[in-house]
Amino acid sequence: MPLPADFADLRPYAAWALATEPERYAKRLAASMDEMQSFYDAAFARLEDAIAYIDSFPWDDLPDDARSLLHLMQSLVMVSFPVEVWKQPRVPDSGAAYLDLISEPVV
């Protein structure tokens, strides 16, 4: 899905616009810290603009580009702890623990 024209600077990170939490988690685990840091830096700088853009539409009728932007920002949340706190893709000291999400909270 395309991103809104006003967010063309985020197009190099379009692969992070994943619709489900399991996809976003798998992407995080497969990414290097350098990849996550680059994505985090670019997306975090646009977070407030993205929220304003997404909020300009009704939640139950988001255009495809706004939905892609929403998914991109959900991936930003997914990488925030690894980048800001853990300095690694996996949760520290979690061993083989894994939690499956059975229902998506948002669109």
- Structure pTM? 0.82
| Domain boundaries along the sequence of the chain | 5-86
Q: CA-to-CA distance for 28 and 7, rounded, in angstroms?
A: 22
C-alpha–C-alpha distance, residues 33 and 24, integer Å: 15
- The segments of the chain whose pLDDT lies below 70 read 1, 86-87, 89-107
How far apart CA 3 and CA 82 sit, in angstroms, is 25
Contacts of 13 (CB under 8 A, 6+ apart): 38, 39, 42, 43, 72
- What pLDDT does residue 90 have? 59
Phi then psi for residue 89, to 5 deg, are -65, -35
